[in-house]
Amino acid sequence: MNKSKYCTIYLVRHGRTDWNDKELIQGHTDTKLNLEGKDSAKKLAKSFKNIKFDKIYSSDLSRAKQTAEIIALEHKLAVETTTALRERFFGNIEGESHVLFKEMNEILDSLDDKARYSYKFNSNMLMESDEEVMNRFINFLREIAISHLGKTILIATHGGPMRILLAKLGIANYQKIVWIENLGYIKLESDGVDFFVKETSGVE
């Protein structure tokens, strides 16, 4: 594979927050890293110290931005933020218990993959569908790949978009729920059209 024809992208899920510990739905709520999240991000930064990142991007939400800034410090790079990398917007259930996911998944599991991808809950129409999340997320990845061919980019983001991306690429499916740990990552190569998963860590 000709490396100059591809952009290498490391997608990293943010570190832990108090809402992670309490199992509350975060979405666009702007939670911050807790002490464990900061310490773990520093450890990941050290494990990445021999990777030459050319640019670092992040969701504009604090938990992702803080994660990116900790890694960026090791590489002496600035962090550029964008709303395109945000977690799914969960509408009126942000701040509620993860128990609600079980009820939602019972409905989603009754749908085929195509219907599930675009499904909107009548009781929570503001919540983004998988399709809406992926439209903003993958478009940003493609723009980054095209403009950074031959470069290595780090992106700090959230578990939801990362899981949906793996399903979109056929690496995972809705019948096998993928879990991405805090500070888990996916290493991709892309020419701006296709994406190839080269490595994962903390992805089950």
**pLDDT the model gives residue 141:** 98
**pLDDT the model gives residue 117:** 93
Strand positions, DSSP E, 28-179: 55-59, 79-82, 152-157
The residues spanned by each domain of the chain are 3-203
pLDDT, tens only, 138-158: 999 999 999 999 999 999 999
Helix axes 62-75, 35-47, angle to 10 degrees: 40
Helix axes 130-147, 159-168, angle to 10 degrees: 80
**pLDDT the model gives residue 2:** 59
**Global model pTM greater than 0.85:** yes
To the query of whether residue 148 is one of the catalytic residues in this protein, the response is no
To the query of whether residue 158 is one of the catalytic residues in this protein, the response is no
CATH 3.40.50.1240 assigned to domain 3-203? The reply is: yes
Residues of the chain with pLDDT below 50 are none
**pLDDT the model gives residue 4:** 77
Can you read off the two tokens belonging to residue 128? 């983004």
Residue 153 and residue 85 in contact, taking contact as beta carbons nearer than 8 Å = no
Catalytic residue from among 14, 69, 158, 189: 14
Catalytic residue from among 69, 87, 128, 189: 87
